[in-house]
Every structure is written in C-alpha cells, then in structure tokens.
Amino acid sequence: MLNLHRNLNNSLAGIKAALSDKSFRGQLALGAVALPMIVFLGTATIGYKLSAIGTYVLLIATELLNTAIERLCDRVTNEHDQAIKEVKDMASAAVFVVLMLFLTQCAWILMGNP
C-alpha cells in the first residue's frame, strides 16, 4: 500500500510539473471543450463516445511523454543538436497522430454518425 501511495504522489507531481507546459495546458483546454460536446451533443452510440474519451486519455498520456522527452533533451544540451531535434520532432509527431485521431472521432460523433 505504501508503494501505491508513493506512486500516486509521484504521478500527481508529474502532472503538476507538466501544467507549466503550454502544450499540455492546451490539450487540457481542448478536452474541456470537446469532451462535453461529444458526450452531450453527439448522437453516436455510447461505444463511440467511450472510444473518443479513451483516445483523449491517450492524447494526454502522449503529451505527458512528449513534455518529459523535451525537458530531458533540454537538460542534456541547450545547443542545437540534430539528433535531439529529431527525437523531439518524433515525440511531437506522436502527439499529432493521436490528436488527429481524437479530432476525427469528435467530428464523426458530432456529425451525427452512429
């Protein structure tokens, strides 16, 4: 039980640290707008709505990993390094892929598809 409590504290500390990142806050704002819309305005089945909610959770998790990778890379060096740039770009691309999936699901639900 002690490990569970410590893990929870570490996770909450990580979320608190991520809140200083503009991109992470932007993803939270997107969810604050999009999730109520798909839940209350969309006419899709509960399965589609739950799928979109799950994708949003995946988006937040991916954004947390992206933020962590960016901070770690910035700690390694502040000078331009092509390999670090590529790592950061790949992490950003992962967020973009999940974001596009989420937005597609939202559009599908809000357009009245089952």
Would you call 86 a catalytic residue per the annotation?
no
6, 52 Cβ separation under 8 angstroms:
no
Residue of 84, 64, 70, 79 whose CA lies nearest to 24: 64
Tokens 């969810």 belong to which residue? 31
> 63, 70, 79, 86: which one is catalytic?
63
Q: Which residue numbers are catalytic? A: 63
